Structure 1
Amino acid sequence: MISAQDWADTRCLWDYHQMGHDALPCSVAVGLGSHDLGVADTAVDLYRRGMAPLLVFTGATSPTTRERMPRGEAVHYRERSLELGVPSSAVLVEPRARNTGENIRFSRALLEEAGVDVASILLISKPYEERRAYATARTLWPEVEIISASTPMTLEDYIDSIGDARLVIDMLVGALQRLLIYPEQGFMISQHVPDDVLQAYDRLRQRGFTSRLLRSDATSS
């Protein structure tokens, strides 16, 4: 059973994971592969609004996307953008990346090979991955301006789209854990985590929302 305190803690993490950046015109929009075609839809919306002249979709497959996106996440994103009217000349595909770091590194290499001058990036991810994507890009591509974006939606709408409230809470907890430990491993920049967020994270772990934690931390206090 998910208690009222669990929901309050979940909302605290949800709010923290989102950066709240205003979308501004950038050199390129990069959509990070996942199970969520909403990333492609948001990229197309930003393209139509004149926020980026070029879209890059990056991602291979994973155990959670292999059946739904057998041709690879980036390829399915590209197909979705073409269905929505984006010209093929405005879409590049990076089909090899299997994690956020590779998303950034391989997209950077692709754009360099294509001769695209990049000063700023609209980095599009799932709503609860905004901060993680931003922190990773700041480490691997520090010389460009990063604006983090996702599909505008409430926590309730996101849970409805996934269809599993407990899984969503697990994902939020797992994403927060990585924000805490990955900077020490050089994977992303360190960011301030407010005390109320840390307390919400600890309570949710103690309540058993641990399926997306890295194993070494799954049972720690």
Structure 2
Amino acid sequence: MASLIHTLALKVWDYHHLDHSLEKSDCIFVLCSNDTRVAERAAQLYLQGYAPFIVFSGGVGELTQNLFSGSEAEAFANIAIDLGVPETAILVEPHSTNTGQNVEFTRALLEQKGLNPDTFILVQKPFMERRTYATFMKQWPGKQAIVTSPQISFDDYPNDQITYSDVINVMLGDLQRIDAYPARGFSIEQDIPQDVWQAFEQLVHHGFNEHLI
């Protein structure tokens, strides 16, 4: 059974990855969370010269209520600064609590600062790449986006913040939202191959239903 669960979960994990090739862009846009490895990935990209500034977006969510002393964005910004990103190259949006708000509030912040980037590198958790892209393209049409995430395998991803079961549950919740949210106007359509959806259904049947709509 464990082997079957792993095989099914890996299929969903792989689907969530877009495998975009990185290109120099106008802005690194980080969708914050409980996973500080995302902040490390963003700092790495900045230090490699992929964009002239970083926006960290994220308030306090269910998973970060007692994790950081302030907002997710402030915590991620501090990590980036510790890794060598100059504070002058960082903007912080500390109020959003979902992916749609990440885009909406960041767009407003950049407009307030007189900034109008055309190309973005979106940095997110590995299993949220596809939904982040679909949401961004719906909420901010006319822009170009590449999505990336910490370069970690499915087997190596769980840590003291998120268990193996948690990863599967959240991945399935995101897959369901990729399917459901276009009809609600939240994101653009994404093709879901039949074998991926079958893996979703089998994993839900095995009890991985904690983050479903």
* Fold in common (TM above 0.5): yes
Residues in 1 aligned to 2:31 and 2:119: alpha-carbon distance in whole angstroms: 16
The yes-or-no answer on 1:198 pairing with 2:197 is yes
CA contact under 8 A between 2:12 and 2:196: conserved in structure 1?
Answer: yes
Which residue of 2 is the match for residue 125 of structure 1?
Answer: 124
Residues in 1 aligned to 2:165 and 2:117: alpha-carbon distance in whole angstroms: 39
Query: AA paired with 1:127?
Result: P
The yes-or-no answer on 1:32 pairing with 2:19 is no
How far does residue 70 in structure 1 lie from its aligned partner after superposition? 2.6
Deviations 1:122-177 (A, max 9, x none): 00000100001000000011111010110011001102464521111111111101
Which residue of 1 is the match for residue 148 of structure 2?
Answer: 149
How far does residue 63 in structure 1 lie from its aligned partner after superposition? 2.2
The yes-or-no answer on 1:82 pairing with 2:81 is yes
Using the aligned pairs only, state the percent identity: 37
CA contact under 8 A between 2:64 and 2:72: conserved in structure 1?
Answer: yes
- The 5-angstrom pairing of residues 89-100 of structure 1 reads 89-100=88-99
Which residue of 2 is the match for residue 53 of structure 1?
Answer: 52
Which residue of 2 is the match for residue 21 of structure 1?
Answer: 20
Query: AA paired with 1:206?
Result: H
Q: Which runs of 5+ in 2 are unaligned?
A: none
CA contact under 8 A between 1:61 and 1:70: conserved in structure 2?
Answer: no
Q: Give the total of aligned pairs.
A: 213
Residues in 1 aligned to 2:160 and 2:186: alpha-carbon distance in whole angstroms: 29
SS at match of 1:158: coil
Deviations 1:53-81 (A, max 9, x none): 10000011012102111310000011111
Query: AA paired with 1:115?
Result: G
CA contact under 8 A between 2:35 and 2:161: conserved in structure 1?
Answer: no
Q: Which runs of 5+ in 1 are unaligned?
A: 215-221
CA contact under 8 A between 1:162 and 1:168: conserved in structure 2?
Answer: no
Query: AA paired with 2:98?
Result: N
How far does residue 115 in structure 1 lie from its aligned partner after superposition? 1.3
Residues in 2 aligned to 1:153 and 1:201: alpha-carbon distance in whole angstroms: 22
How far does residue 84 in structure 1 lie from its aligned partner after superposition? 1.0
TM-score normalised by structure 2 residue count: 0.97
Residues in 2 aligned to 1:186 and 1:7: alpha-carbon distance in whole angstroms: 33
Which residue of 1 is the match for residue 10 of structure 2?
Answer: 11
Deviations 1:72-106 (A, max 9, x none): 00000111111111111100000110000000011
The structure-2 alpha-carbon separation of the partners of 1:95 and 1:163, relative to structure 1 and needing over 3 Å to count, comes to: closer
SS at match of 2:122: strand
Aligned residues: CA RMSD: 1.1
Query: AA paired with 2:212?
Result: L
Which residue of 2 is the match for residue 67 of structure 1?
Answer: 66
Residues in 1 aligned to 2:173 and 2:8: alpha-carbon distance in whole angstroms: 14
The structure-2 alpha-carbon separation of the partners of 1:192 and 1:118, relative to structure 1 and needing over 3 Å to count, comes to: same
- The 5-angstrom pairing of residues 175-190 of structure 1 reads 175-190=174-189
Query: AA paired with 2:88?
Result: S
CA contact under 8 A between 2:93 and 2:109: conserved in structure 1?
Answer: yes
Which residue of 2 is the match for residue 113 of structure 1?
Answer: 112
